[in-house]
Amino acid sequence: MRLSSFAGTDVGLARSGNEDSYLCGRTVFAVADGLGGHQGGEVASAMAVEPLAALDGRAFADARQAAEALTAAIAEANRAILERAREDRTLWGMGTTVTAAAVAADRLLQLAHVGDSRAYLLRGGGPLRQLTEDHTAVAEAVGRGLLTRAQAAVHPQRGVVTRAVGLDPGVRVDTPPPLELAEGDQVLLCSDGLTEVVDEERIAEVLAGQADGDGACRALIAAANDAGGPDNVTVVLLRVGD
């Protein structure tokens, strides 16, 4: 299986610094979004990807092994961020989202996820499919039938996360069922700086219309900035096949 990876990040038009971090390795990939409004968001996101980067290139026999390794790496990052915040009170309260992916058994992709960064799949001519669930109060309200997706998209508290790395010693990590990759698949990891202002139809249009992976990343970032660029935006794109 041939797997190509591409990535890009941008500060956006409203922020003075970039609190996002990403990992675009050979077999492990991640996007981390430091919590806006918290001191040290950029520190937390950078610390989150470090243990994940140490997994890059490791051969995972199956998806379960990959899920365990990703979960352990995120737990290690969680402990390190909490310890750093205890040592430096100016960083107290820092945290980050993490959405990570690892290749296992050659054709499987295992995800691990905390927060509201997202993973998507674009397959064939089908619609863009979200592979992760947002850990936000608004998303949970949608799941309970209290809000519609349309209401959630414009809710003023849609960006308030209920789970993040670095805030809770017992952080829970989602590991969705593994994805069996197929020729032509595109998997996108992204921070909410993209999804807050660019709808899924437009994201799919960009991915389907850009033959060049680096060009697709640049086009997604440009779409976010064209929509006002209110936040940092980071994308990691995986493409299967030539």
pLDDT in tens, 62-109: 999 999 999 999 999 999 999 999 999 899 999 999 999 999 998 999
CATH superfamily of 3-240: PPM-type phosphatase domain (3.60.40.10)
Greatest Cα pair distance, the chain, in angstroms, is 51
For 151-177, letters b (16+ CB in 10 Å) and e give: ebeebeebbebebbbbbeeebebbbee
E strands present in 90-203:
98-104, 108-114, 118-122, 129-130, 179-180, 186-190
Residue in the block written with tokens 């139809």: 201
Q: What is the pLDDT of residue 147?
A: 64
Give the residue among 12, 106, 9, 105 at the shortest CA–CA distance from 49.
9
E strands present in the chain:
3-10, 20-24, 28-33, 98-104, 108-114, 118-122, 129-130, 179-180, 186-190, 233-240
- Could you tell me the pTM of the whole model? 0.94
Q: pLDDT tens digit string along 33-74?
A: 999 666 799 999 999 999 999 999 999 999 999 999 999 999
Q: pLDDT tens digit string along 3-29?
A: 999 999 999 999 999 999 999 999 999
Give the residue among 45, 46, 157 at the shortest CA–CA distance from 97.
45
Distance, in Å, from the CA atom of 137 to the CA atom of 178, rounded to the nearest integer, reads 26
